[in-house]
Amino acid sequence: MDEVYVVGGGLAGVEAANFLAKKGIKVKLFEMRPKVQTGAHHSTLLAELVCSNSLKSNELTNACGLLKEELRILGSICMESASLSMVPSGSALSVERDKFSSYIDEKIRKNPLIEVVNEEFIDFDDHLTIVASGPLTSPKLLDKLANITGVKNRHFFDASAPLVEKSSLNLDILYRKDRYDKGDGSYLNAPMDKLTYDNFVVELINAKKALVHDFDTSYFEACKPIEEIARSGHDALRFGPLKPKGLWRSKEDRSYAIVQLRKEDNYERLYNLVGFQTNLTYGEQKRVFSMIPGLENAKFVRYGLMHKNAYLNAPSVLNEDLSLKNKNNIFIAGQLSGVEGYVESMAMGLLAAANVYYRLQSKKMNFPPRNSMLGALFNYLHLGSKEHFQPMNANFQILHGYEKNKKDKCVQQALEAIKIYGEELDL
């Protein structure tokens, strides 16, 4: 059987390569790092998590939780690795990032059917090729795709949050608690009184920004930098990432706002400032974030960063099976296809590979069930607005037949439908 090219060894790329190899198909996986860097990846490992170590909620009544369960049913390598590298984080699924990527890296590189080529991929030929080069696709490849599709590529901006060393935190001030006590106390909380909050907001709004100009900036709403949220209203943070409800130390001790820090690794050496994606200069991050009670002497091991995220206008350029209308041996996967988020990108890697598999078998493509979260995302790529297309996260509003007051039933139906889809793929 033909060899398939997969471009990009990120979350979508490893899912695609692993799926095809399981089907006995040879894969050449192109990953440009470390020769060419993206500006956000830090390691040489495949399947690197570029920012948070959280894969979001693990609860089935959460849209991303449901999507994860669907991926488990379909044999996702990322879900397999996540279950082996979990760190406690309440109802969320968070992982020790190096362990997560190392497991996948080793499994992919050891697979006799997968050859990893550390080169930047630029030129397409007639091979079936899955492009999973992500939101930070190299400019040369992006240009090539724009030439082929004849449609200008789109982008939005998002940002990553800083990491601090636990040993530098003041644990007399920070306290352990999960929201509404749902979880095992794996979050640290920094309580703010009104005066501290007021001063913090003022300094945050006035702090010096790095990179891009306002007029050139369109944010993905869910990844808005914290300083932009603060700018939208003095109380915006208190009702957003610094929401204290469910985190108060006691009934009597009700702080005005609370910053949460999430454990990054099982050794508990590093903590992530939850919701603190930012575009401030490094110096300003140190100055302003050190105003948070308990973080006065915080040692920042990584600062937040802002990035331009590329994606294709899926409804304009993609066929039903995720191949390009103008060159149908090229399939688009991952975030580049028009979804947003780690788990969504994994899902679109697996799905693109399933479609390639059908093509290789000369079989009619089997659509993912419309009432599953996988199918909902897939449909959105085809049914979204061509004029105003924006990347999509998993959410129940796009699920076919969703009824809010029958959520449990919808979830069960989604899982049953995915089991049947998986059986048809013979997984």
Ligand X SMILES: Cc1cc2nc3c(=O)[nH]c(=O)nc-3n(C[C@H](O)[C@H](O)[C@H](O)COP(=O)(O)OP(=O)(O)OC[C@H]3O[C@@H](n4cnc5c(N)ncnc54)[C@H](O)[C@@H]3O)c2cc1C
Between 30 and 219, name the residue whose CB sits nearer to ligand X: 30
Work out whether 9 is an interface residue with ligand X (CB under 6 A): yes
- Closest residue to ligand X, judged by C-beta, is 10
Return the percent helix, strand and coil in the chain, to nearest 5. Answer: 35, 20, 45
CB of 13 to ligand X, least distance (A): 6
Residue closer to ligand X (CB basis): 136 or 425? 136
Interacting residues with ligand X between 96 and 135 (CB under 6 A):
120-121, 132-135
Gap between the Cα atoms of 342 and 263, Å rounded: 18
**Tokens 């308990």 map to which residue?**
294
Specify whether the CB–CB gap between 330 and 131 falls below 8 A.
yes
Q: What is the three-class DSSP state of 310?
A: strand
Helical segments of 23-128, H only:
63-73, 77-84, 97-110
> Which two tokens mark 59?
């609860």
Residue 11 touching ligand X (CB under 6 A): yes
Q: Which 8-state DSSP code applies to residue 209?
A: B
What does the block give as tokens for 230?
A: 């603060």
Tokens of 396: 């129940």
Residue with smaller CB distance to ligand X, 13 or 162: 13
Nearer to ligand X, 34 or 401 (CB): 34
* Residue 322 makes contact with ligand X by CB under 6 A: no
The edge-to-edge listing of strands for the beta sheet with 187-192 is: 175-176, 187-192, 257-263, 270-273, 163-165, 300-302
Q: Of the ranges 136-144, 357-365, 374-382, 404-412, which one interacts with ligand X (CB under 6 A)?
A: 136-144
For residue 315, the SS3 value is: helix
DSSP code string of 126-181: SS-EEE---TT--HHHHHHHHHHH-S--EEEEEEE--EEEGGGS-TTT-EE--GGG
Encoded tokens for 381: 């790529």
* List 6, 12, 21, 394, residue binding ligand X (CB under 6 A): 12
The verdict on 18 binding ligand X (CB under 6 A) reads no
Looking at the DSSP assignment, which residues form a beta bridge with residue 324? 318, 327
Chosen residue from 6, 16, 19, 31 binding ligand X by CB under 6 A: 31
Rule CB under 6 A: is residue 25 a binding residue for ligand X?
no
- Considering the rule CB under 6 A, would residue 137 count as an interface residue with ligand X? yes
Of the two residues 136 and 242, which places its CB atom closer to ligand X in the complex?
136
Q: How far is CA 197 from the centre of its chain?
A: 29
Q: Is 279 in the site for ligand X (CB under 6 A)?
A: no
Tell me which of 177, 238, 307, 359 binds ligand X, using CB under 6 A.
307
Radius of gyration of the chain from its Cα atoms, rounded to whole angstroms? 22
Residue span binding ligand X (CB under 6 A) among the ranges 10-18, 77-85, 288-296, 401-409: 10-18
CA-CA distance, 201 to 196, in Å (whole number)? 9
Size, binding site for ligand X by CB under 6 A = 37
**Near ligand X in 141-170, by CB under 6 A:** 141, 158, 160
∠ CA(240), CA(243), CA(244), 5° rounding? 180
Choice between 196 and 217, CB closer to ligand X: 217
- Pull the structure tokens for residue 424: 């048809």
If one asks whether residue 264 binds ligand X (CB under 6 A), the answer comes out as no
CB of 140 to ligand X, least distance (A): 7
Q: Which is nearer to ligand X, 274 or 292 (CB)?
A: 274
CA distance 156 to 68: 25
Residue 410 binds ligand X, judged by CB under 6 A = no
Distance CA 92, CA 83 (A): 12
User: Contacting ligand X (CB under 6 A), which of 191, 244, 338, 341?
Assistant: 341
335 binds ligand X (CB under 6 A): yes
Q: Which is nearer to ligand X, 120 or 198 (CB)?
A: 120
Which of 136, 169, 288, 330 is in the footprint of ligand X by CB under 6 A?
A: 136
Query: Is residue 293 a contact point for ligand X (CB under 6 A)?
Result: no
Supply the minimum distance, in Å, between the C-beta of residue 132 and ligand X. Answer: 5
Name the segment binding ligand X (CB under 6 A); options: 137-145, 165-173, 261-269, 408-416. 137-145
379 phi and psi angles, rounded to 5 deg: -65, -40
Task: Give me the residues that bind ligand X (CB under 6 A), please.
Answer: 7-13, 30-33, 38, 40-41, 50-52, 120-121, 132-138, 141, 158, 160, 307, 309, 334-336, 341-342, 345
